[in-house]
């Protein structure tokens, strides 16, 4: 789980520092090349928007629009000294709008792009920017300077350009972004965090040449990466168990060499378990088994094949080599004491805690798995035939009493004496 969170943050950890280290080299470029870099956010913004629309990622689209509109206002109205009243009021307004809109997007759910909900979400982000455009068109921005509170006139640190009020807004906006990232673990939330960090760095050192172009571009690249990560997860990662699914299995199989072993795994008596305790508990069992087999050693990789069936793929391993690791997995699952939550949980938190501390033995159940596995041989024309024989070995394990492991070469035998059987 920690590795997955790190992978979500990896694009931000690479691209934002990259933008920072590019500041000095970019400042030394000829004017013509700097002009091209200044156009880069518009190109990237259009690209991200097309990806977001194509894959129906509404929050990614809104985050890209938030950055691009702010960047357009910077290019049009902030290419002058902030001593100008119009420029300072515009800068102050953007330093508040950027983080507030980012926090608002973090609270949204994915409801499509051109759906009624998606359009309502877009409408919530537009009033601030529309007001700025109207005030700017009437040359009224500068008249608001005397009305700004002192916290928007005093900088957070000397030689920086972020006001104390903006710093508070950024800090408050960070909370919903971090909470959403923790709860959802979605690439879009990691990209929103990158957008927020890029905005605060850009505004802190606003006088650096092309800092807005570089950091907005970096944030947009993180957003584009988030679309790709989300699309990959939808196609290849099983949503319930959070391990790769069947499509990922067959994609991996196509890259294997001549030697590999495939294991088919089935949860014993899962239907009876599901009927007795309910589908929510059944889902809990699936997640538990997936978490255990995902830790298989020996270079094995776990997949959810479908229903209560899982697959473990061992590239470069023979049946005898894979057997040891499969037995370890089977024993880990069989020895795990799974507690079933009472269907009559009290609403009061204190009573619920007391009930959890007084769990009956009957509420602790034993979940077991049966495993059949097969090594790729010369007579197998493709991986489907290997899977078929592994499935037949799985049936043999079920017939032998469940909670045991069978290889394709011993389907008709009783197997090793160490195999343990259970009727649970």
**Catalytic machinery residues:** 308
In degrees rounded to 5, what are phi and psi of residue 411?
-60, -35
DSSP element (H, E) containing 330: helix 319-334
* CB half-sphere exposure, 202, CA atoms < 13 A: 28
How far out from the chain centre does Cα 54 lie? 19
Q: Which ranges constitute the DSSP H helices of 138-269?
A: 164-184, 187-204, 211-236, 246-253
Task: Using the structure block, give the residue that is written with the tokens 């079933």.
Answer: 340
Contacts of 393 (CB under 8 A, 6+ apart): 264, 372, 373, 374, 406, 407, 408, 410, 411
CA separation for the pair 373, 371 (Å, rounded): 7
Strands 301-306 and 337-339: unpaired
DSSP state, 294? T
Q: Are 52 and 220 in contact, with CB atoms under 8 Å apart? A: no
Element (H, E) at 51: helix 31-54
Kind of pairing, strands 405-407 and 369-375?
parallel
Task: List CB contacts of 76: < 8 A, sequence separation 6 or more.
Answer: none
Question: CA–CA separation, 421 vs 414, rounded Å?
Answer: 11
Cα separation, 245 vs 247, in Å, equals 6
| Rounded distance between C-alpha atoms, residue 82 and residue 84, angstroms | 5
Residues across the chain: 424
- Residues forming a β-bridge with 306: 309
């Amino acid at each position: 789980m920690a590795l997955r969170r790190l992978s979500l943050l990896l694009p931000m950890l690479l691209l934002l520092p990259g933008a920072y280290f590019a500041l000095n080299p970019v400042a030394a470029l000829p004017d013509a090349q700097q002009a091209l870099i200044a156009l880069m956010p518009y190109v990237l913004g259009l690209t991200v928007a097309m990806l977001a629309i194509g894959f129906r990622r509404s929050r990614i689209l809104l985050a890209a629009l938030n950055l691009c509109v702010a960047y357009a206002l910077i290019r049009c109205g902030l290419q002058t000294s902030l001593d100008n009243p119009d420029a300072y009021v515009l800068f102050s307004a953007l330093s508040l709008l950027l983080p507030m809109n980012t926090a608002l997007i973090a609270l949204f759910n994915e409801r499509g792009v051109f759906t009624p909900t998606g359009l309502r979400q877009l409408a919530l982000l537009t009033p601030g920017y529309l007001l700025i455009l109207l005030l700017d068109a009437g040359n009224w921005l500068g008249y608001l300077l005397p009305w700004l509170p002192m916290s928007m006139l005093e900088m957070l640190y000397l030689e920086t350009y972020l006001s104390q009020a903006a710093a508070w807004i950024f800090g408050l906006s960070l909370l919903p972004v971090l909470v959403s990232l923790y709860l959802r673990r979605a690439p879009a939330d990691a990209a929103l965090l990158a957008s927020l960090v890029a905005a605060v760095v850009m505004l802190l050192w606003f006088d650096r040449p092309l800092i807005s172009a570089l950091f907005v571009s970096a944030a947009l690249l993180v957003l584009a990466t988030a679309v790709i990560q989300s699309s990959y997860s939808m196609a290849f990662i099983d949503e319930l168990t959070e391990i790769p699914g069947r499509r990922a299995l067959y994609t991996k199989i196509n890259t294997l060499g001549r030697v590999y072993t495939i294991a088919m795994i089935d949860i014993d008596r899962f239907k009876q378990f599901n009927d007795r305790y309910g589908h929510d508990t059944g889902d809990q069992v699936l997640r538990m088994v997936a978490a255990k087999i995902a830790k298989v050693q020996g270079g094995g990789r776990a997949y959810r094949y479908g229903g209560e069936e899982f697959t473990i793929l061992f590239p470069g391993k023979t049946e005898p080599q894979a057997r040891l690791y499969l037995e370890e997995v089977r024993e880990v699952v069989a020895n795990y004491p799974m507690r079933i939550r009472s269907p009559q949980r009290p609403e009061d938190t204190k009573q619920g805690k007391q009930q959890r501390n007084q769990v009956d033995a009957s509420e602790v159940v034993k979940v077991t798995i049966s495993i059949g596995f097969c090594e790729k041989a010369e007579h197998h024309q493709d991986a489907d035939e290997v899977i078929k024989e592994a499935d037949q070995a799985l049936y043999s394990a079920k017939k032998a009493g469940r909670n045991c492991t069978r290889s394709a070469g011993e389907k008709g035998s009783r197997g090793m004496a160490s195999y343990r059987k259970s009727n649970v």
